[in-house]
Structure 1
Amino acid sequence: MDNEEAAFHGAKLVLTQGGRLLTYLRDDRPGLPFPDHWDLPGGGREGGESPLRCALRELHEEFGLCLPPSRLTGRAFASRQFPGWRSWLFAGTLTAADVAGIRFGDEGREWRMMPLADFVSHPRAIPQFRDLVAELTASPPRSAPRAAAHPP
């Protein structure tokens, strides 16, 4: 495991299809960071899993989707939740069949394929992810890092 992976705590996914972004509305309960806000698929690292394995596990748990690693590119970014740590952001494209196959899990209130412009301007989108999506859609990644090239 390289230094980028060693100090990371979670991964998020920017998954688009036809100009829309896979999002979900977080639960609205006390103690939950950003309750009742629109979020991206993903979450916290479990054990020693790689960034890619973390992202794919969370995607499966939250939406019932199993994407091949070759469909994702990723990069590390500074965590706002845990200063000094890194998080990972993976991007990919969903097919119409992927969207039709979504089976929403038990976290969150609802899911939506939200227009990208709506997410980046939504007052209840989690601010750091709204900013990351705006950056990513303005200049998509050129190549996958080493971590994204390895299967989970």
Structure 2
Amino acid sequence: MDTSPLLLVVAAALVDGGGRVLVQQRPAGKPMAGLWEFPGGKIEGGETPEAALARELHEELGIDVDPAAMAPLAFASEGLGGRHLLLMLYVVRAWDAVPEARHASALRWVTPAELRGLAMPPADAPLIGALERLLRG
């Protein structure tokens, strides 16, 4: 039985009108630097996943998202050093401003199929299939 501490993380698949998804590149000096990921971050004590994601999207991208506009899509479970990561992915289709890279090296709008060609963290990659199924249906 794995008794590693659980790390709860939320992420957003921001989907534009053309069915593209926003990803951000992890900056130099951070773990997994250079990899592309869905924006988001850790859930702090006392936060709901939706409140944490709204906070993270404001901090990382400068956008405001109504938690009621977030739809849970999928999750990934992955060992990460001495911890165990549980990553919850939400779909977001409405936000209030143009996203900007505040904590990332770059931002990029890509189709779900293009995600498969990007170097992504191990926990993000398994979520691509759920996005493909959602956006083609």
TM-score by length of 2: 0.77
Unaligned stretches of 5+ in structure 1? 1-6, 141-152
Match of residue 115 from structure 1: 111
Distance, in Å, in 1 between the alignment partners of 2:100 and 2:125 is 24
Deviations 1:70-89 (A, max 9, x none): 22111563431333x63321
Match of residue 23 from structure 2: 23
List, as ranges, runs of 4+ consecutive aligned residues in structure 1 with deviation greater than 4 Å: none
- 1:128 paired to 2:123: yes
Match of residue 68 from structure 2: 70
> Given that residues 20 and 111 in structure 2 are in contact (C-alpha distance below 8 angstroms), is that contact kept between their aligned partners in structure 1?
yes
- 1:50 paired to 2:48: yes
Distance, in Å, in 1 between the alignment partners of 2:106 and 2:74 is 28
Aligned residues: 126
Deviation at 1:125, TM superposition (A): 2.2
Q: What's the Cα RMSD here?
A: 2.3
Name the stretch that deviates more: 68-77 or 9-18.
68-77
> Given that residues 22 and 111 in structure 1 are in contact (C-alpha distance below 8 angstroms), is that contact kept between their aligned partners in structure 2?
yes
Distance, in Å, in 2 between the alignment partners of 1:28 and 1:56 is 25
Distance, in Å, in 2 between the alignment partners of 1:86 and 1:61 is 21
> Given that residues 76 and 126 in structure 2 are in contact (C-alpha distance below 8 angstroms), is that contact kept between their aligned partners in structure 1?
no
Higher share in strand: 2
Distance, in Å, in 1 between the alignment partners of 2:38 and 2:76 is 17
> Given that residues 120 and 131 in structure 1 are in contact (C-alpha distance below 8 angstroms), is that contact kept between their aligned partners in structure 2?
no
> Given that residues 24 and 101 in structure 2 are in contact (C-alpha distance below 8 angstroms), is that contact kept between their aligned partners in structure 1?
no
Distance, in Å, in 2 between the alignment partners of 1:78 and 1:104 is 24
SS in 1 for 2:123: helix
> Given that residues 120 and 134 in structure 1 are in contact (C-alpha distance below 8 angstroms), is that contact kept between their aligned partners in structure 2?
no
Distance, in Å, in 2 between the alignment partners of 1:109 and 1:88 is 23
Higher share in helix: 1
Match of residue 4 from structure 1: none
Distance 1:56 1:47, change over 3 A: same
SS in 2 for 1:79: strand
